Structure 1
């Protein structure tokens, strides 16, 4: 498939660019009377180009509609990271106070995955341990990782796949603003005020 599957069971589900050709972000959220009670933001990684194959490598979610759901306002932001040959790992992120508007939080999570995509790829491919700086074999410089030509061409590009149905950051902001009865400018300002520490500083809750 040319793009990863969208989240199912949500009122709104969209693809969002991740700023690099080998990654895409999916966003799903519900709308209830100008509120967003549930959302899922996932970072997908293209693990194969022939045929094209995507897999999720990191996800952040919130669900205040179920007693079993993860509520970021009670438990804080967390990231589940998948790994090639090991169990997924759960990281608890350090962050500032969260906006009461869920749209701001979603927008910030999307930006976070864009900024930290390489970290999540490295953890998925087990080149580094979660929540810690990478371990270099000689104590200093990283061990070179040789990439096939297809991987280099895809991974180094800043463009999203041309054949994927993707909305822009601005269009996502507009959807979030509409869902909460706010303006796009308010969503962008609220998202910018949320500070999330790098994943290297996160607490490994379950490994």
Structure 2
């Protein structure tokens, strides 16, 4: 099965697997002397199988190198959130102070998008409005979009082999290498960042 293309124009661009069916994450970041001045983290949702189609339904980015770039240390985190039949919106969740290590922030953002993938799918499909409580307050999850096995098999037989997505641990190793630290330090620092659920975020630009 094809995966979405990683972000273009970054020093490092990778596809990262996820825990939700039909979702993967993509990550791009620049490297500059043990520093990451720019990054993007996206959640992609598979919307079709014949042909395979992916939509980027949530995005978190940081850019301190451009005058008009979004600097999370000045403006805070925001999540660009797509909707299938309506204009996209920005969600601004509250969060704890961000560490200077961009690698820790990237790891935290990839974990956040993965943990809340069902919510962003529901927003994209119009099942809930942005900022609304989840549809499953009892702890259940959104039923995955059903993909017929024959469709998937047919597509796999027609497509050239693709590079397998990275695991979260492999991404963490790349982030640690970029910042001259250890994967354990990246993982610990990411776990200390607290980001409020998207259902509690302020909605802007709706």
TM over 0.5: yes
Q: C-alpha separation between the residues in 2 aligned to 1:189 and 1:119?
A: 25
TM-score (norm 1): 0.87
Corresponding position of 1:150:
147
Matching residue of 1:158? none
**Which residues in structure 2 correspond to 1:184-195 (within 5 Å)?**
184-195=183-194
Mapped to 2, the partners of 1:85 and 1:134 lie a distance apart of 19
Contact 1:58 1:82 in 2 (8 A): yes
Q: Partner residue of 1:205? A: 204
Q: Is the Cα contact below 8 Å between 1:132 and 1:201 reproduced in 2?
A: yes
Q: How does 1:115-154 map to 2 (within 5 A)?
A: 115-133=115-133, 149-150=146-147
Give how far 1:165 is off.
Answer: 2.3
2:52 is matched with 52
* 8 A Cα contact 2:119 2:134, kept in partner: no
- Unaligned 5+ runs, structure 1: 153-161
Summarize deviations over 1:49-83 as a string: whole Å, max 9, x none: 12211110000000000010000001001000111
Equivalence map 1:85-96=2 (5 Å)? 85-96=85-96
- Could you tell me how far apart the structure 2 residues matched to 1:99 and 1:147 are? 35
Q: Distance in 2 between matches of 1:98 and 1:71?
A: 12
Aligned to 2:85, the other structure's residue is in SS state: coil
CA distance 1:70–1:146, change in 2 (3 Å): closer
For structure 2, the 5+ residue unaligned runs are 150-160
> 1:167, CA displacement in angstroms?
1.1
Residues in 2 aligned to 1:64 and 1:148: alpha-carbon distance in whole angstroms: 38
RMSD: 2.6
Q: Secondary structure at the match of 1:26?
A: strand
Residue 156 of structure 2 corresponds to: none
